[in-house]
Structure 1
Amino acid sequence: MSKPSRAIRGRVLTFNDDPQTAGSAAHEFIEDGLIVIAGGHIAEVGEAPALLAKLPDSVMLDHYPDGLILPGFIDTHIHYPQTQVIASYGAQLLDWLERYALVEEQRFGDPGHAAAVAGFFLDELARNGTTTAAVYCSVHPESAEAFFAESDRRNTRMVAGKVLMDRNAPAALQDTAERGYAQTKALIERWHGKGRQLYAVTPRFAITSSEAQLEAAGVLLREHPDCYMQTHLSENRREIETVRALFPWAENYTSVYDRFGLLGPRSLFGHCIHLEEGERRLLSESGSVAAFCPTSNLFIGSGLFDLAKARDPAFPLRVGLATDVGGGTSYSLLRTLAEAYKVLQLQDQNLPALEAFYAITLGNARALGLEDRIGSLAPGREADVTVLDAKATPAMAHRCERIETLEEELFLLMTLGDDRAISATYIAGERRHVRSGG
Structure 2
Amino acid sequence: MAKNFDVVIIGGGILGTSISYFLSHLNKSKKIAVIEQARNVAFHTSGRNTGKIHAPYLYNPEKKKLFANAAFHGFDMWQEYSKLHDLPFKKDGVIEVALDKKGIKVLEKYLKWAKQNGLEEKDIELMDKSEIKKIEPEIRCESALCVYRDGSTDYSTYTESLMKDSKQNGTTFLLDTKVTEAKKENGKWKVTLNQEDEIFTEFLINAAGGEAVDIAHNVGIATELTDVHFRGEYWKAPKQYNNLTKTSIYSVPEFPDYPFLDPHWIIRVDGSCEIGPNAVPVFSPYGYNKAENIKEFVPKMLEMLGSGARKAIFDKQFQELAMNEIQSSMSKSAMVERVKRFLPKIDAEKITEKGTAGIRSSIINEKGKFEPDVILLDDESSFHILNYNSPGATGALPFAAHIVNHLHKSGLFSSETTDAQCGPWKFSEIIEKIEKK
Please indicate, yes or no, whether the TM-score normalized by the shorter chain is above 0.5.
Answer: no
Highest RCO, 1 vs 2 (Cα 8 Å, sep ≥ 6): 2
Q: TM (normalized to structure 2)? A: 0.24
Q: TM (normalized to structure 1)? A: 0.24
Richer in helix (by share): 1
